[in-house]
Amino acid sequence: MIGMIVAMSPDRVIGVGNKIPWHYSGDLKRFKAVTTGSTIIMGRRTYESIGRPLPKRRNLVVTRSGIADVECFTSLAGALDAVKGDAWIIGGAQLYAEGMRFADRIDVTYVPDRIPLEGAVLFPVIDEAVFEAGPFEKVEGEPFLKRRTFWRRIKSAG
């Protein structure tokens, strides 16, 4: 299974200034629960914003240059070829856009925060002709958040 996991605002904002512009501990706990034990794949800027490999996960970074003590790949396809088992693409925007061709599922948490679009990084539009949306669900411990149970691929992306 290849999935993408993301939290985004109503305007699809996922980041500003190489940071996530909100903090919801319930979302972070859920992210940890979903991705622990699997491989996570991220771009260099996402890795730098986290600042370290995330524990109990195989961390792969897609970058043109190496990073000491981190498994690096020059392409998302190369990183995916190295995966055994489940993989989650965790950002950034470029990797999400490319990941649309590979993902079986997209796990979206919707935050209510309105973030100015100037300088913001956006999640790509999810093509509902390619991915079927599941029902909205609550995020445990976070009354203002909702998530969409995995968008399931219903046909190949073009």
Q: How many domains does the chain have?
A: 1
> Does the residue 80 lie in any domain?
yes
Cα 134 to Cα 131: distance, rounded to the nearest angstrom = 9
The domain that holds 114 is classified in CATH as: 3.40.430.10
Q: What is the pTM of this model?
A: 0.94
Q: Percent of the chain, pLDDT > 70?
A: 96
- Decide if 158 is inside a domain: no
Question: Which residues does 97 contact at the CB level (< 8 Å), separation at least 6?
Answer: 124
CA end-to-end distance (rounded Å), the chain: 19
Specify if 77 maps to a domain: yes
Query: Is 138 domain-assigned?
Result: yes
Range of the domain at 96: 2-153
> Could you report the per-residue pLDDT of 13-68, keeping only the tens digit for each?
999 999 999 999 999 999 999 999 999 999 999 999 999 999 999 999 999 998 99
